[in-house]
Chain A
């Protein structure tokens, strides 16, 4: 957008004149639009309501959105470029997998778009939370929230490596989460050994029923899929051999809103797993 570009240039010129000091002032966005569920959560946590111009449609879904209630009082967009442009934002937060065409078009119109990646460990959660907070000019608040998170994580009773129960994870689409996923790191913090990681699965993969029965886990962790959800994964879950296992071991179902996105509230994910630990 030409006008905004001009304003940006002007600010940059002023910044050059005034030395580094203008950068901080310029970097505190006041009209922020989010077009991604996880960015919605981060905004609701970090920024005063009046600086949030709009949240994505997904933010209202209580199954997916951790702060669905808080989101209800905000303007809602449907992840289209015309809505976002009409809001004249000074910062748009998108996800790494947000519709390419929308992100590209916004950038083409000169809008500042920041794409937020998916963290793969708890330390990455904290690092990225700080990074986003810096972007939003909300570092002090972020530090406070992160301190709470650390406290909650420290309060989870740890276990020695030998006595960790073995758990099999059934995640979105019947996939399991192995090495290099946030789920794996969360399990480690909760004192649980991940069967997928033991089997050498990198990232997301599938657990075969056979290897599951051979490993004979102490615990089953369900995210997203419950036996009631219609899905391919259900075929596995309804297999007699699997049902038999389900009846014998501890099971925990994690609501999607806890693990779909990340932030200080990821601590609850750890806590829920630790509580369910046999």
Chain B
């Protein structure tokens, strides 16, 4: 990545009043507990001791296969996707200095979804296993190029947001078109169910496919931290402090596109995590954007993992869709948050 923070960084550590350590430790502890719980949950009971013992066996027993090939990739994807959504939400909210910003804003979620839906629509998902995520990533990358074209020139934040809205609308319309033209009600259901978002029965193939893209995205996003702090003082101030705003914008948006595009392509739509998590944690880190980034990634991972556990606990019959649950809980909570801050602002 390009060096974003200038060498002569002015001290911006105005808000370092609250120590980060207790928060990070608390979230990490929650993450560990939830991760352990996640591995024990499934439709069948897996004897964990036997499963763990079998890991190094030449011919692993069934328990090990269930644990390692089914539950572990699900857990890892929950952490990666949740972390991505939290991190992207925090970065975009810092970049745009707007608490309404969410990873879906720049159009990458809907285009990744469109890419995957097209794979279902043309029946490619049946002919080779990783068609869905590959389609999703292709959809996301096309949008990255589009955004690159837009953001590469001298464009304002407003241009980017409006372009994102336009791209989202177009992708959503094309997704609806695929539903509209679906050959049968069954094919339409298949698309709808995929769009609802889930982590069920993903494999390490999925992890291997999305992890590199996410890693690149994460590095780009994390590199923006100091610039975001400067931005909180206003664009002009940040520019006079020596930050190259075009570059910051580029890193934040292309990073988001890569990471979120990869996430959506394996899970389908998962709402509200990216929006809510930074809100929850912002007061706890002292409203400093750079300190919010890593913590939001951690918080997003915790929240999505909790959601994925809830989905499995709440539905004794067929599994609820994760994206549905996050929206059902996330939206009212977000409303409450807005009302609360409004009261405080008065």
Contacts and interface: CB of A to CB of B under 8 A. Distances in A.
Interface of A: 1-3, 57, 77-83, 85-86, 88, 95-97, 99-102, 104-105, 107-109, 115, 118, 171-173, 175, 181, 203-204
A118 B43 contact: no
Interface in B272-298: none
B126 A96 contact: yes
B187 A101 contact: no
A82 B126 CA distance: 21
Contact of B129 (A82, A83, A88, A108): A108
Nearest to B129: A104
B184 A80 contact: no
A82 B70 contact: yes
B249 interface: no
B230 to A, nearest CB: 43
- Of all A-B residue pairs in the complex, the 4 with the closest CB atoms, nearest first, are A104-B129, A86-B44, A83-B43, A101-B201
Contacts, number: 93
Contacts of A108: 69, 129, 203, 205
Interface string B11-55: 000000000000000000000000000000011101000000000
24 contacts: A1-B62, A57-B317, A78-B317, A81-B201, A82-B43, A82-B71, A83-B42, A85-B65, A97-B187, A100-B126, A100-B132, A101-B198, A101-B202, A102-B200, A104-B201, A104-B203, A107-B129, A108-B69, A108-B203, A109-B65, A118-B186, A173-B188, A204-B182, A204-B185
A78 B43 contact: yes
Contacts of A81: 70, 200-201
A78 B185 contact: no
Contacts of B129: 104, 107-108
A82 B42 contact: yes
Contacts of A175: 185
A105 B183 contact: no
Interface of B: 42-44, 46, 59-60, 62, 65-66, 69-71, 120, 125-126, 129-130, 132, 182-190, 193-194, 198, 200-203, 205, 317-319
Contacts of A1: 62, 65
A97 B189 contact: yes
B66 A82 contact: yes
B62 A85 contact: yes
Contacts of B187: 97
Given A80-B201, A204-B184, A86 B62 contact: yes
Nearest to B69: A109
A6 B70 CA distance: 21
A107 B182 CA distance: 26
B317 A85 contact: no
Contacts of A204: 182-185
A86 B60 CA distance: 13
Contact of A80 (B189, B194, B205, B319): B319
Contacts of B190: 97, 100
Q: Which of B62, B183, B184, B187 lies at the interface centre, i.e. has the most chain A CB atoms within 10 A of its CB?
A: B184
Contacts of B120: 100
A67 B68 CA distance: 36
A107 B318 CA distance: 21
B185 A80 contact: no
A105 B189 contact: no
A80 B193 CA distance: 15
Nearest to B203: A105
Given A81-B70, A99-B193, 14 more contacts: A57-B318, A77-B43, A80-B42, A81-B200, A82-B44, A82-B70, A83-B42, A86-B66, A97-B187, A100-B126, A104-B203, A105-B202, A108-B129, A118-B184
A148 B239 CA distance: 83
A78 B201 contact: no
Q: Which of A78, A100, A115, A173 lies at the interface centre, i.e. has the most chain B CB atoms within 10 A of its CB?
A: A100
